[in-house]
Structure formats: C-alpha cells, structure tokens
C-alpha cells in the first residue's frame, strides 16, 4: 500500500515539473499575448467611452509634435536627429531606444515621460515595451 502512495506522489511531482517547464518555454508568447490583449482592451475602452470623439482625440494626440506637448527645444532637436517627429513616433520607442540618442539621458527621458503623462499616456511597464497608446478621454 505504501509503494502505491510513493509512486503516485512521484508521478504528481513529475507532472508538476513538466507543467513548470512548459510555462517557462511559453512565457514569451504569453507576454506577447498579454501585450496584445492590453492594446485591444485599451482601444475598446476608448471607443466605448465616445466612439468617434475618442478615436479623433487619439489621432490628434498622436499627430502632435514633441514641441506641442511641452518638450524642450533641446530634447525636440535630439528626437528629430533620430527621425522622431510626432507623438506617435515617440510612444513607439522603448526607453532604451531613447537613451541611445546622443545627449539624451535620464533627465531628458523623465521630461519626455512627464510631457506624455500630461496628455494622458501612461509610462511603459514591465509588461509593455513602449507607451500605452490609450490617452485618458
């Protein structure tokens, strides 16, 4: 009777180990799926609040230049050197992309984050790669 119990426990541990290994292998796909889900839900939220106005406001915000959202001339010039001319270009950059620009450091990155937050965009998190493109409507 004790042998069957030990065998069952061993099988349970083996199954658990296989599930853990499977989760480790699929983590990048789960992260990507989570990011897509966040974008879909955000778009749905904006359109559910006020379908046409939400989309139009988002389009207007994304078409603005960095100077229009209150970013300094020096920072705007740094962004232009890297062909970042609109908020849309800016929100699709990762922090590492921005920090790789010559003359662009942590203070400048913080200035960009604050300006984007003032118009309703949210900072990138560990789950997202770039800014969430869902302004507060």
How many angstroms from the chain centroid is the CA of residue 97?
13
Within a domain: 67 = yes
Within a domain: 127 = no
3-state helix, strand, coil in the chain (%, to 5): 70, 0, 30
Look up the pTM and report it. Answer: 0.54
Whole-angstrom distance, CA of residue 39 vs CA of residue 59: 15
Q: Bigger pLDDT: 54 or 6? A: 6
Q: Is the per-residue pLDDT at 93 higher than 70?
A: yes
Within a domain: 133 = no
How many angstroms from the chain centroid is the CA of residue 108?
19
Whole-angstrom distance, CA of residue 33 vs CA of residue 54: 24
Within a domain: 10 = yes
Within a domain: 83 = yes
Within a domain: 102 = yes
CATH number for the domain that contains residue 112 = 1.10.150.20
Looking at residue 135, what is its pLDDT? 47
Q: How many domains, in total, are found in the chain?
A: 1
Lowest mean pLDDT among 53-57, 103-107, 108-112: 53-57
Within a domain: 136 = no
Within a domain: 105 = yes
Model pLDDT for residues 8-62, shown as the tens digit of each residue: 788 888 888 787 777 766 666 666 777 777 777 666 665 555 556 667 788 888 8
**What residues pair up with 132 in beta bridges, in sequence order?**
122
Residue 108's domain spans which residues?
2-118
């Amino acid at each position: 009777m004790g042998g069957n119990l030990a065998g069952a426990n061993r099988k349970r541990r083996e199954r658990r180990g296989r599930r853990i290994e499977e989760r480790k292998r699929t983590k990048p796909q789960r992260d990507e799926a989570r990011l897509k889900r966040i974008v879909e839900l955000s778009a749905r939220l904006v359109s559910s609040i006020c379908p046409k106005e939400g989309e139009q406001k988002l389009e207007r915000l994304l078409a603005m230049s960095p100077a229009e959202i209150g970013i300094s001339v020096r920072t705007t010039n740094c962004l232009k050197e890297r062909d970042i001319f609109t908020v849309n270009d800016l929100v699709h950059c990762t922090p590492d992309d921005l920090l790789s620009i010559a003359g662009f450091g942590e203070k400048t990155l913080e200035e960009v984050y604050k300006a984007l937050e003032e118009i309703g965009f949210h900072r990138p998190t560990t789950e997202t790669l770039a800014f969430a493109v869902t302004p507060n409507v």
